[in-house]
Amino acid sequence: MKEVTAIELKKMKDDGINFQLIDVREDYEYDIANLSGELIPMGELMNNIDKIAKDKDVVVHCRSGARSATAINQLEKMHGFTNLYNLKGGILAYAKEVDSSLATY
């Protein structure tokens, strides 16, 4: 599985790279802290395949990286995606390494 680190994601944002950021956490988690990605909770992901870009890189994240890794594996196996990247360590890593103002839980 391809991954990006929190630092790499920050650089992608800062450099204006055209990519999609998908958050597979639940609504209440998104309300606590988010990276301004598109919220598609894990349980709704397979019903929202059409919302996932196939023509650019897509970074998928969750709290720690485990749910997003599972989601990526499912999307690659069942729908043939080849452009997905897991945020290594999830939003917790981003809060620790990039933006300490993000709430952690």
Looking at residue 73, which CATH number applies to its domain?
A: 3.40.250.10
Write out the residue range of the structural domain in which residue 84 sits: 3-97
In a domain, 102, yes or no: no
- 6: confidence class by pLDDT, cuts 50, 70, 90: very high
Query: How many domains are contained in the chain?
Result: 1
What would the mean pLDDT of 58-71 be, rounded to a whole number? 98
- 58: confidence class by pLDDT, cuts 50, 70, 90: very high
Q: Which of 33, 52, 60, 62 is catalytic?
A: 62
In a domain, 43, yes or no: yes
- Known catalytic membership, residue 62: yes
Q: What is the pLDDT of residue 26?
A: 98
CA neighbor of 35 nearest in space, from 103, 83, 81, 105: 103
In a domain, 105, yes or no: no
Output the six-digit token pair for 94.
Answer: 């981003």
By percentage, how much of the chain surpasses pLDDT 90? Answer: 100
In a domain, 103, yes or no: no
Q: Distance between CA atoms of 35 and 25, rounded to whole angstroms?
A: 12
**Which residue type sits at 53?**
A
